[in-house]
Amino acid sequence: MTDDKIALDKQIFSALSSETRITVLKKLDSKRRTLKELCDELNLPKSTVRENLTVLVESDLVRKRNIGNKWVYYEPTEKGRRLLHPHELTKVIILLSSAALGFVGGIIEIYLFIKSAFPEEVFVVTEEGGVPLYEPKYLIFGVILLLLSVLFSYLALRMRKVKKETRK
């Protein structure tokens, strides 16, 4: 797991001091682009975009990727992504923690249902008559908690998968 802390030094502040560079970084966040694609989208001359990309590359917020053809693609580095999305990992951790708690809670509730379904005494005698001890609410809560834990796990893994796909 990567460290979420980003050292904001003079070089990064300088790189982020331009609105154009921030816009370029945001454009690259959605997908990697070539210099020409950025020029077309931003309506800026090639020299201006190249100069801003050079500053972003030097500050380690953007990297060049030569895929083997004649085009050079630019994409944000991990540091650049963490600047744009500082709390993504926190969301994943919260979802996975909730999934674990839901799973444990669901197992406990189902255990309580099984324990109440097979008691030592089958009936409790009250003024109204005999009442079975088992509580179906334990089973219902247990199943709901287990389903929630599966849902939270799915969402957390989906967030990580989407994040990894956007890096490629």
Which of 7-11, 18-22, 70-74, 107-111 has the least mean pLDDT? Answer: 7-11
Render pLDDT for 19-40 as a digit per residue (tens, 0 to 9).
888 889 888 888 888 889 999 9
Render pLDDT for 74-109 as a digit per residue (tens, 0 to 9).
998 888 888 887 776 777 788 888 888 888 988 988
Kindly report the CATH number that applies to the domain delimited by 10-82: 1.10.10.10
pLDDT of residue 119: 62
CA angle 154, 155, 161 (to 5 degrees): 85
Query: What are the b/e assignments for 36-48, b being 16+ CB within 10 Å?
Result: ebbbeeeebeeee
Distance CA 87, CA 38 (A): 27
Question: Which range is most confident: 4-13, 80-89, 115-124?
Answer: 80-89
Domain residue spans in the chain?
Answer: 10-82, 88-167
